[in-house]
Structure 1
Amino acid sequence: MVVSAGSDGVVLTGRLSREGQGWVVDHEVLGAVLLPGTGFVELVVRAGDEVGCGVVEELMLGAPLVVPERGGVQVQVVVGDEGVGGRRSVRVFSRVDEDAGWVLHAEATVMPGSVVPAADLTQWPPSGATELDVDGVYGFLDGAGYHYGPAFRGLRAAWRRGDEVFAEV
């Protein structure tokens, strides 16, 4: 991590590869290994933590981040200057090699504070929720082109209550 010159923003850098992060090969969509959405959440949370903004207010995913078969991909997470209410913008970029241009994959807003649960989870499963059948969900997803290997096969149970879905993962 480095502090941006002339501002209070920061840039976090790293490298992502199939060899260095072996779990990533367990997330394949239509034949391509992609950084999962949760990977972007982790990058944004880590960057926000560096500047005292532990809450992800908004996260928008754009272009998928394809992890190449050989070599790796450079990653930059750019945190902007402090704005209204301590909020900061975060952008996640990658490029395959030094000669390639940077691709914007995600944009987020982070803010100081702590997360307040949106639902009361003191009773489990939640009151009034109906259990869903999760048997065969990974087979169904595989048939639709979404291959989840062992690192991403964590769904154990799920329930629905109106528009809400609760899961044990």
Structure 2
Amino acid sequence: MDLPTYAFQRERFWIPVRAGVGEMSAAGLGAIDHPLLSAVTEVAGGGSVVFSGRLSPVVQPWLVDHAVNGTVLLPGTGLLELVVRAGGEVGWPLVRELTLQAPLVLPVEGGVQVQVVVGAEEESGGRAVSIHSRPEDDVTAPWTGHAEGLLSAGALPEPTFELAQWPPVDARPVEVGEVV
């Protein structure tokens, strides 16, 4: 007995995928392989570089472990990691200073857009860096500043004491009352 041939005839109704759709390069962005940052772009004419990503307790479930009174926060070390990675990507790997301004609060559902902006080289020999976020579902919301700092180029300075010796050889005790 012969089988009917119509059951094996196929016609596809999928929309054809255009080249470049879904790729960051199609939007003028470069990709970065990092768990918190996913895109990078250089600002035209200024030497600044912007790194962006999305933070969400759903995508990064380990963030839920950093809840304070039921509010999920990105820990300060997470902010530092964003700055260190952004600085390393532009060849300025040392964080000279970093001032935390406001906690980065994550919503229970959804997420936040995050940007790390590395400024152009300054006359002082550093590059300013800042971290901002806003809710991902409200593109009209203002950006909230979370940290500002300064990056340096070069290698880490060598310590002036033996790291295996603790306390250091020339250390002296200090009374708490003396500390101002």
Structure 1 and Structure 2 fold alike (TM over 0.5): yes
Extract structure 1 runs of 4+ deviating beyond 4 A: none
Asked if 1:35 corresponds to 2:74, the answer is: yes
Cα separation, 2, equivalents of 1:45 and 1:39: 10
Which structure 2 segments of 5+ residues have no match?
A: 1-39, 175-180
Spell out the pairing of 1:1-169 with structure 2 (5 A cutoff): 1-96=40-135, 97-116=138-157, 118=159, 120-123=162-165, 126-127=166-167
Structure 2 CA distance for partners of 1:162 and 1:67, relative to 1, 3 Å: farther
The question of whether the paired residues in 2 share the 8 Å contact of 1:33 and 1:67 is answered with yes
Q: If you compute each CA radius of gyration, which structure gives the higher value, 1 or 2?
A: 2
The question of whether the paired residues in 2 share the 8 Å contact of 1:85 and 1:111 is answered with no
Higher relative contact order (CA 8 A, sep 6+): 1
Cα separation, 1, equivalents of 2:110 and 2:164: 46
Cα separation, 1, equivalents of 2:124 and 2:93: 13
Deviations 1:61-112 (CA, angstroms, capped at 9, x unpaired): 0111001000000000011111135310001000003121110110010010
Superposition RMSD in Å: 1.9
- Higher-strand-fraction structure: 1
Aligned residue identity for 2:163: L
Cα separation, 1, equivalents of 2:119 and 2:113: 19
The question of whether the paired residues in 2 share the 8 Å contact of 1:3 and 1:9 is answered with yes
Cα separation, 2, equivalents of 1:7 and 1:88: 12
What is the total number of aligned residue pairs between the two structures? Answer: 129
Aligned residue identity for 1:40: L
